[in-house]
Amino acid sequence: MPATTLKNKIRLRLLPSARCLYDEPVQVKVAGLKSRQLVTMRARLTDDKGVMFSSSATYRADGNGKIHLDRDPSLSGSYVGVEHMGLLWSMKPDTLHRYFHKSRILNPVMVMFSVHEEGDSKMLAEVTNERLLIGDGVSRILVEERNVCGVLYTPTGGGPFPAVLDLSSTRSEKRACLLANKGFVVLNLTLFTDKPSKIKEMHLDYFEEAVNFLKQHSKVGSKGIGVISRSKGGDIALSLAAFVPGVEAVVCINGCNANTAFPLYYKKRLILPPLSFDFKKFIPTESGAVIGMHVLDNPLAEENKDTLIPIERAKGHFLFVASEDDLNWDSKTYMDQMVERLKRHGKDNFESVCYPGAGHLLEPPYGPHCESCPHYLSDKPGMWGGESRSHAAAEVHMWKKIQEFFRTHLKAGHKATNHGTFLLKKKSL
């Protein structure tokens, strides 16, 4: 939908275009207002579960009746100050404890921007921002190979491309397809295809199969594979780096330095017992959600040292990301312990970045910040932490850092020659 001009000749525009990729910023500009006029800017969207998210902010036009969100401050509302993408990251759900769900990846996120008379619901202009998750030429294919069931994203062109295994605790392909837009072959796997209460153990062999699938893919030219994951998936990614050949670069977002929740087996042998949870340590809040920051046992306690992942064995590189306001668990402490462990073993194959004010659920930028939603290990919603403005800034920085890290350590060389025999099924959403 192009910029709208109503009878009063007020114009609301999105630049450079009203159609963009999900992780790209837009400039929001209003023209045709009265000099110094107060108005309310609003944004709203509906996710794939029918939950509406919305935000609003009060702005004053300049002497020429114009408002530029990258120049002018919000005076009140969902945020204050100059925040050119504030209407997006400050959106809140219309009901408590909801996460922004986007499962129909081929359909863009449709965000309605509008400008209204201050103190009145009368709309002066509106425009729709079409935010694409999957770019032109990127393919999405369902993978079914022995035990590996996932979704493969490949960039346009013949390659060769660097490859990344994307591990998600629950089904979410957003990060995978956005990375594919940037020139990576990405295989997305879901850790929990069943309720966690029904899972008794996990097997690293399953994820090794996924690594080998990527290594043998005809469009992959990097000598090794990258892995990206968050939370529980972080310790799976670290274990892959420690035990499985060919893992060259791991991004661990708010992960633990020990194997958590389930025994981990590899080649029919227990390699890491689980670090236990004490659910009595959940802290209830007035909203009904719980804080789980202290639920995990201390990984450095003598009785838990067998759960620590021997990351010093890894031949690849690490990017550790930690949020200081993570209310799910103590990500900053776990990151510090991993850095100290690698240094103690004379290793310098790592980078670390810490984000003050950011919460657990760090994602690609410009989506609504989730403060609380259902927790896969609790019957109550979990508090994830983060102050919205700081969390949004962290996501912008982190997303750029991740791409730079993978490009540095996954340089594409030649095409793989052993293509294997994998069953691929095209899948539309």
Catalytic residues: 231, 326, 360
Beta-strand (E) ranges in 96-219?
109-117, 123-132, 139-145, 148-154, 161-168, 185-190, 202-203
Residue keyed to tokens 């004379």: 346
Using CA atoms, how far apart are residues 176 and 172, in angstroms rounded to an integer?
8
Name which of 221, 211, 136 is nearest 184 in CA terms: 221
Using CA atoms, how far apart are residues 396 and 19, in angstroms rounded to an integer?
19
Dihedral sign computed on CA atoms, order 393, 291, 97, 79: negative
Residue keyed to tokens 């940037």: 182
Using CA atoms, how far apart are residues 331 and 169, in angstroms rounded to an integer?
16
Tokens read off for 257: 């330095």
The answer to whether 72 and 82 have CB atoms below 8 angstroms apart is: yes
Name which of 161, 130, 159 is nearest 21 in CA terms: 130
Using CA atoms, how far apart are residues 373 and 370, in angstroms rounded to an integer?
7
Using CA atoms, how far apart are residues 126 and 11, in angstroms rounded to an integer?
8
The answer to whether 274 and 307 have CB atoms below 8 angstroms apart is: yes
Residue 339: count other Cβ atoms within 10 Å of its Cβ.
Answer: 18
**Rounded to the nearest 5°, which phi and psi values hold at 400?**
-65, -40
Q: Are strands 4-5 and 19-21 parallel, antiparallel or unpaired?
A: unpaired
Residue 189 is given by DSSP the state: E
Using CA atoms, how far apart are residues 352 and 143, in angstroms rounded to an integer?
33
